[in-house]
């Protein structure tokens, strides 16, 4: 029996949820959520967590959206675990999305028709990406995958974007991914320091204010990453001359703003 089929069955059995009939249960800090509880094998409920959804309409979100790892509702803290199906569908004014390292599932058509989305980071926690998750994202150039092990893809997860999107896996991991059936036939790029070289036209980098609180402004042109002191990537984005970035979701501490040929260190308060 194919690994993909086995994984699909296990996923449906292990992650089945008891959820409200309404599209969303809570609206907190600009994000709509539905609460769900994991069904455990043999009965019983496990973790109660949050699913990011929309407000019943397309184009719910715009600008730079940061999804937190946890959210507190009525005094109780819940991890954010899912990007729901069609959660960001048709968000034509969504310019960037930051996913936390608690997300395990990206739903069907979750980012379809996000016409301004150019880069997306898939956190190491991811376990599954569903069908057409990024369909019709015509400006999408890079999907950075931070897991060093292949996770489950539905057959057409990347089917309509792989001809123009750089799908980048960690350094020296291409063969590991291609060994799994659902990853075969997908053009992958190895993130060993040369991805996008020659495409990033950055010649100088300016970041201010420093120290920063709330927002920073980056002056550059090309692919820019924001990483913490441990090297963990917090944001990846394209900057066209000048862009102001909301620091919501970043913990206090030092961060490195990087282009192909320059690095700046800033303090986030």
Any domain includes 196 = no
DSSP category for residue 171:
T
Distance CA 187, CA 162 (A): 7
Any domain includes 63 = yes
Residue that terminates a domain, selected from 162, 191, 220 = 191
Domains in the chain, number = 2
Q: Which two tokens stand for residue 144?
A: 């950075």
> Does residue 101 sit in the same domain as residue 23?
yes
Pairing verdict, β 63-66 and 70-73? unpaired
> Does residue 212 sit in the same domain as residue 180?
no
> Does residue 84 sit in the same domain as residue 216?
no
Residue 170's pLDDT is 86
Any domain includes 98 = yes
The range of the structural domain enclosing residue 222 comes to 206-268
> Does residue 140 sit in the same domain as residue 32?
yes
CA distances from 14 to 4, 42, 116 (A): 15, 10, 35
> Does residue 45 sit in the same domain as residue 167?
yes
**Spatial CA neighbour of 119 closest among 143, 154, 146, 93:** 143
Model pLDDT for residues 207-239, shown as the tens digit of each residue: 999 988 888 999 887 778 888 888 888 887 777
DSSP string covering 54-91: -SSSSS---EEEE--SEEEETTEEEEEEEE-TTTTTT-
Any domain includes 200 = no
Question: Is-contact 149 174, C-beta < 8 A?
Answer: no
Domain CATH number, residue 45: 3.80.10.10
Model pLDDT for residues 186-202, shown as the tens digit of each residue: 888 877 654 543 444 44
The values of phi and psi at residue 10, to 5°, are -60, -40
SS3 155: coil
Question: Is-contact 12 20, C-beta < 8 A?
Answer: no
> Does residue 119 sit in the same domain as residue 228?
no
Any domain includes 199 = no
**Confidence band of 127 (pLDDT split at 50, 70, 90):** very high
> Does residue 177 sit in the same domain as residue 242?
no
> Does residue 7 sit in the same domain as residue 125?
yes
**Spatial CA neighbour of 158 closest among 180, 123, 134:** 134
Domain CATH number, residue 234: 2.60.40.10
**Confidence band of 203 (pLDDT split at 50, 70, 90):** low
Distance CA 103, CA 52 (A): 10
Residue that terminates a domain, selected from 145, 162, 191 = 191
SS3 3: helix
């Amino acid at each position: 029996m194919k690994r993909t089929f086995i994984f699909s069955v296990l996923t449906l059995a292990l992650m089945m949820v008891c959820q409200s009939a309404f599209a969303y249960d809570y609206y907190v800090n600009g994000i709509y959520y539905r609460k769900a509880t994991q069904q455990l094998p043999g009965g019983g409920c496990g973790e109660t967590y949050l699913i990011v959804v929309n407000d019943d309409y397309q184009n719910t979100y715009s600008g730079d959206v940061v999804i937190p790892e946890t959210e507190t509702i009525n005094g109780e803290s819940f991890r954010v675990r899912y990007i729901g199906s069609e959660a960001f569908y048709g968000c034509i004014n969504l310019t960037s999305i930051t996913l936390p390292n608690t997300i395990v599932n990206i739903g069907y058509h979750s980012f379809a028709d996000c016409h301004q989305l150019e880069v997306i980071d898939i956190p190491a926690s991811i376990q599954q990406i569903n069908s057409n998750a990024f369909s019709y994202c015509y400006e999408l150039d890079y999907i950075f995958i931070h897991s060093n092990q292949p996770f489950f893809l539905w057959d057409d997860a990347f089917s309509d974007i792989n001809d123009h999107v750089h799908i980048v896996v960690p350094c020296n991991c291409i063969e590991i991914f291609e060994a799994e059936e659902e990853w075969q036939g997908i053009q992958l790029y190895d993130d060993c320091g040369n991805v996008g070289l020659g495409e990033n036209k950055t010649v100088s980098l300016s970041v201010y204010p420093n120290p920063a609180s709330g927002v920073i402004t980056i002056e550059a042109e090309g692919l820019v990453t924001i990483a913490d002191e441990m090297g963990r990537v917090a944001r990846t984005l394209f900057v066209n001359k000048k862009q102001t970035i909301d620091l919501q979701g970043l913990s206090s501490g030092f961060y490195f703003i990087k282009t192909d040929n320059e690095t700046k260190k800033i303090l986030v308060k």
